[in-house]
Amino acid sequence: GAGVSQSPSNKVTEKGKDVELRCDPISGHTALYWYRQSLGQGLEFLIYFQGNSAPDKSGLPSDRFSAERTGGSVSTLTIQRTQQEDSAVYLCASSRSSGSYNEQFFGPGTRLTVL
Amino acid sequence: AQTVTQSQPEMSVQEAETVTLSCTYDTSESDYYLFWYKQPPSRQMILVIRQEAYKQQNATENRFSVNFQKAAKSFSLKISDSQLGDAAMYFCASSPPMNYGGSQGNLIFGKGTKLSVKP
């Protein structure tokens, strides 16, 4: 079956502009995660969605970052008034979230460059 | 809070040889999972191997195996018979079980080790 997809693959924007990044999880996966991978760094957790529950936003770095998940499926990560330090690869992952262990399946990421 | 440390930014191995990537972690949890992920230039993270902390036996997946030392909080990855396709960034990660102490199962990653394979 289809894996996690993300769009766009690459995004170049000017400082101060808003951007939207999209994630399509694997069908049937109720859990969805966003991570940020800055140059030379590991992945940093941003936000978590589980079904229709309120998201865990504890990893969002500032109030310029927000995310929503419509109908328990597609998710959009929005960054307002982008800054150069927002340049990174943004990765989305989804999982079944059943039992104590959930394998997270990752998308190919969106590379965001803020000029 | 959990932390994961990978002390080797880059490693190199000759094709068909064996290489070991190091990882240490710190956690106050009694139950957790440990993972090694591979990230090729395509950027897609691929799960290589996972270890459940309560299992003493080291996990093995074909040419990949781990040396899990719980007391030392060490979790190294051994790649045997290295192949050109093994060249990638390798990330060590940990997470508590889902719904354990309110956990959402989000992964905590190290900064990665870039592995090069020489023909």
- Strand, coil or helix: B57: coil
Most confident of A12-21, A37-46, B41-50: A12-21
Q: Which residue in chain B is spatially nearest to A97 when comparing CA positions?
A: B98
Confidence at A100, pLDDT banded by 50, 70, 90: low
A109 vs A52, residue with greater confidence: A109
For A54, which DSSP code?
A: P
Which residues of chain B, if any, have pLDDT below 50? none
The verdict on a CB contact (< 8 Å) between A107 and B110 is no
| A21 touches A77 (CB < 8 A) | yes
pLDDT tens-digit map of A46-56: 999 988 788 88
Q: In chain B, which residues have their Cβ closer than 8 Å to the Cβ of A43?
A: 45, 91, 93, 107, 109
Q: How far is CA B2 from CA A103, A105, B29, B39, in A?
A: 19, 21, 8, 22
Secondary structure tally for chain A: helices H, strands E: 0, 10
The verdict on a CB contact (< 8 Å) between B43 and A91 is yes
Nearest Cα of chain A lies from the Cα of B110 at a distance, in angstroms, of: 5
The verdict on a CB contact (< 8 Å) between B97 and A100 is yes
- Please tell me the predicted confidence (pLDDT) of residue B102: 57
* Locus of tokens 């064996």: B18
Q: Within 13 Å and on the Cβ side, how many CA atoms surround B63? A: 12
Nearest Cα of chain A lies from the Cα of B64 at a distance, in angstroms, of: 18
CA proximity to B45, closest of A8, A50, A95, A43: A43
Handedness of CA B34, B39, B45, B47 (dihedral sign): negative
Cα dihedral: A53, A59, A62, A63 (round 10): 0
Q: Read off the pLDDT of each residue in A4-30 and give the average, rounded to a whole number.
A: 96
A9 vs A2, residue with greater confidence: A9
Of chain B, the end-to-end C-alpha distance in Å amounts to 41
Residues 56-115, chain A, touching B (beta carbon < 8 A) = 56, 59, 89, 91, 93, 95, 97, 99-104, 106-109, 111
CA proximity to A65, closest of A49, A54, A73, A76: A76
Is the predicted pLDDT of residue A102 greater than 90, yes or no?
A: no
The verdict on a CB contact (< 8 Å) between B106 and A59 is yes
Cβ contacts of B84 within 8 Å, gap of 6 or more? B15, B117, B119
- Please tell me the predicted confidence (pLDDT) of residue A99: 63
A98 vs A36, residue with greater confidence: A36
Q: In chain A, which residues have their Cβ closer than 8 Å to the Cβ of B99?
A: 100
